[in-house]
Structure 1
Amino acid sequence: MSETLRRRLGVTDAVVIGLGAMLGAGIFAALAPAAAAAGSGLLAGLALAAAVAYCNATSSARLAARHPQSGGTYVYGRERLGEFWGYLAGWCFVVGKTASCAAMALTVGAYAWPGRERAVAVAAVVALTAVNYAGVRKAAWLTRAIVAAVLAVLAAVVTACLTAGAADPARLDLGLGTGPGGVLQAAGLLFFAFAGYARIATLGEEVRDPARTIPRAIPIALGIALAVYAAVAVAVLAVLGPADLASAAAPLADAVRAAGAGWLVPVVRVGAAVAALGSLLALILGVSRTVLAMARDRHLPHVLAAVHPRFGVPHRAELAVGAVVAILVLVADLRGAIGFSSFGVLVYYAVANAAACTLTAAENRPPRLIPVAGLGGCLLLACTLPPPAVLTGTAVLAAGALAYALRRSAAARR
């Protein structure tokens, strides 16, 4: 059975897949906990998260063009820094993004059928795993439709809020709100919303002309997402203010209701469910590709490295990821999953920036300041996340390192 994926995706497809991963997570899941951490410093946190994400995106794009293989930073760390660092990045990505999948599935359930969240979440995971199994081109076309629908809903929300009499520019305090610590924590939580461009890098084996496509697609997707996040954050803050935003279970729905556009509330609920579906679709896609790469190197069971002869996808990896996520949604907590996922993904990108520091001028390396700033920013934001997320993430990181050491020790004895 073949273990090689087919190159089918162009720049537009790659951008759409990245947007599908980002928009659902950021707008509908991360704004409220970020406001709880930073208060009126939410916008400063958004700017900081975007700056770190830009450094990571630049480093990832240059590395992906140099190493156009499935696996993202797992491959870059292995090739540039050594086997252990690649493994550690892959471990952080798989664990952290599996938690993200559970969070997005629960978001679908919470908006689509309150009171039956977990049943709807399991159904969503099963359905989207089947879509990914049928081929990456089908997944890309579905993601394109989802992104278009979500952007239309968000445009309506922004328009309704900013044209309402309830909007008050005085609520847009551009200071530090609760202080530098709160801004850093908000930035770490909002980074969860920007991490979707990793889906583009992990599809390195499935894009046409990766040396050209990936460096173009990643900054385009990131720039569009930042513009959307900034517009929605300003609109919602202007209507609700930081205190009401922090306590809102469904902030965008609460904002349009407060703006006097109650007719938009059902539309926002549908848009939230659709956005989370798009994010979940792209997340399952990206995690399964990293599982494929790690299984090829036998850090995970090699049986997961198979590629379907007809559909050209890592079907066993996709089924395994779908099964684990379906189990997680039965026990997961949405806000806790966001913090845990952010910790894992920030460590993942710290490895990416360290790997980018090893690029030479002949390999089209970015200016040295970019990966250095990205490395420092990732580590700083990871350490300032809510303490439960830091403690749990550190424990899982240590467990992964221990598993690697035991495997190497057993191999040496054999």
Structure 2
Amino acid sequence: MVEPTDAAAGPDALRRRLGVTDAVVIGLGSMIGAGIFAALAPAARAAGSGLLVGLALAAVVAFCNATSSARLAARYPASGGTYVYGRERLGDFWGYLAGWAFVVGKTASCAAMALTVGAYVWPGQAQAVAVAAVVALTAVNYAGVQKSALLTRVIVAVVLAVLAAVAVAASTSPAADAARLALGSGTGPAGLLQAAGLLFFAFAGYARIATLGEEVRDPARTIPRAVPIALGIALVVYVLVALAVLAVLGPQGLADSTAPLSDAVRAAGADGLVPVVRAGAAVAALGSLLALILGVSRTTLAMARDRHLPHALAAVHPRFRVPHRAELAVGGVVAVLAATADLRGAIGFSSFGVLVYYAVANASAWTLTPAEGRPPRVVPVLGLVGCLVLAFALPASSVVSGAAVLAAGAAAYGTRKAAERRRP
């Protein structure tokens, strides 16, 4: 099928500019982000020496989610990701619930990434730096998705170079001890599942590729190729870094660390790399923030088109062909949160929301027919079950707060539908 040109697609259509490489880089910009600098320590506290088992579990669930999402994105190449898939395959409510979970959870993640930038760049003025980062990256996104993709390429290259330096320094250090890599039971199955849930948060960036479906060239070919490539690269990087850090610090040392990669290079005797790692963490958080704002604004656009959010947010800039009002709204909310809130507790909800989002994606993929590109049946089943298990294995406070916010969104949906039915 020949894709329509921008003119034929109408004034509210986004421009298809992204190829496979751009889509892979945007996915990597989300996954190879601040998560690798921060997620290892809490996961080690949950799983102990079973950290690598938790990483493997998270990767399996992420692969299932990625496969389901890629097949759906090829079928429905429009902005919105699982919001669109759930609506088309399961019904309006399930699409709305997925979109609500994504927008609220990822908005909290945006603010957390911004505060991570501030903590590494200027700890004494973390919130001011966070707000400045949000404003700057919102401006980049406003100027067009191609500029975002170009900046993301630079960020990914820098972060990969820093992570490679950490892995080499730690694995070649005399302090490295292969015995520390032995897999143990850690804190038991509950700890392994909680670690997997925490580590899954760092894998979830491939959703950004699907949410940009309306801006990808030849989406039926590009998206199914880009998603597994990005996920595979991220998994290799995570495994290599986790192995190197564990070899130097051991499970307990990693669990006790507040800056595990900095502590790892310091323990390896490479003190000169510590400032580089700090800079890399800040750059990584910027990359995650850039891709998150990009993805949240596209889901906001899709929901606004269907009037689940204010319809004014559905506007597309006549020159840059981006959802400029949605981007400004998301950037404004994130800036306010970054300036006023401590969002460490919101990260738990974000993980819960992301897992609910992908549960809907897997349920949607189950309904595809073979002619529509359905994945093997085991993939969406394993993905759905895995998402639900990991979501409810998170700390109780995260589960309660996440369920409460999702319930509030469901209530708002019900109220809106009831009002529509009462209209003459």
Q: Structure 2 length normalisation: TM-score?
A: 0.96
Which deviations, in whole Å up to 9, do the C-alpha atoms of 1:49-100 show, x marking residues without a partner? Answer: 0000000000000000000000000000000000000000000000111111
Equivalent residue runs for 1:12-411 within 5 Å:
12-333=21-342, 335-411=344-420
Aligned-partner SS, 1:404: helix
Q: Kindly report the root-mean-square deviation, in angstroms, between the aligned alpha carbons of the 2 structures.
A: 1.0
Deviation of 1:175 after TM superposition, in Å, equals: 2.4
Unaligned runs of 5+ in 1: none
Conserved in 2, the CA contact under 8 Å of 1:158 and 1:231? yes
Conserved in 2, the CA contact under 8 Å of 1:25 and 1:192? no
Distance (whole Å) between structure 1 residues aligned to residue 137 and residue 282 of structure 2: 13
Aligned-partner SS, 1:116: helix
Distance (whole Å) between structure 2 residues aligned to residue 332 and residue 18 of structure 1: 28
Distance (whole Å) between structure 1 residues aligned to residue 341 and residue 261 of structure 2: 23
Conserved in 2, the CA contact under 8 Å of 1:103 and 1:332? no
Percentage identity across aligned positions?
Answer: 81
Distance (whole Å) between structure 1 residues aligned to residue 341 and residue 220 of structure 2: 38
Conserved in 2, the CA contact under 8 Å of 1:30 and 1:338? no
Higher mean C-alpha deviation, range 332-341 or range 307-316: 332-341
The amino acid across from 2:191 in the alignment is G
Higher mean C-alpha deviation, range 170-179 or range 200-209: 170-179
Distance (whole Å) between structure 1 residues aligned to residue 157 and residue 343 of structure 2: 25
Deviation of 1:335 after TM superposition, in Å, equals: 4.0
The amino acid across from 2:298 in the alignment is R
Distance (whole Å) between structure 2 residues aligned to residue 337 and residue 189 of structure 1: 13
The alignment of Structure 1 onto Structure 2 pairs a total of residues equal to 414
The amino acid across from 2:399 in the alignment is V
Aligned-partner SS, 2:32: helix
The amino acid across from 2:321 in the alignment is G
The amino acid across from 1:194 in the alignment is F
Deviation of 1:312 after TM superposition, in Å, equals: 0.6
Distance (whole Å) between structure 2 residues aligned to residue 255 and residue 333 of structure 1: 27
Distance (whole Å) between structure 1 residues aligned to residue 343 and residue 236 of structure 2: 25
Deviation of 1:246 after TM superposition, in Å, equals: 1.6
Q: Structure 1 length normalisation: TM-score?
A: 0.99
Distance (whole Å) between structure 2 residues aligned to residue 245 and residue 335 of structure 1: 19
Deviation of 1:331 after TM superposition, in Å, equals: 4.2
Deviation of 1:339 after TM superposition, in Å, equals: 1.6
Aligned-partner SS, 1:330: helix
Structure 1 segments, 4+ long, off by >6 Å, are none
Which deviations, in whole Å up to 9, do the C-alpha atoms of 1:7-42 show, x marking residues without a partner? Answer: 000000000000001111321121111111111111
Conserved in 1, the CA contact under 8 Å of 2:38 and 2:260? no
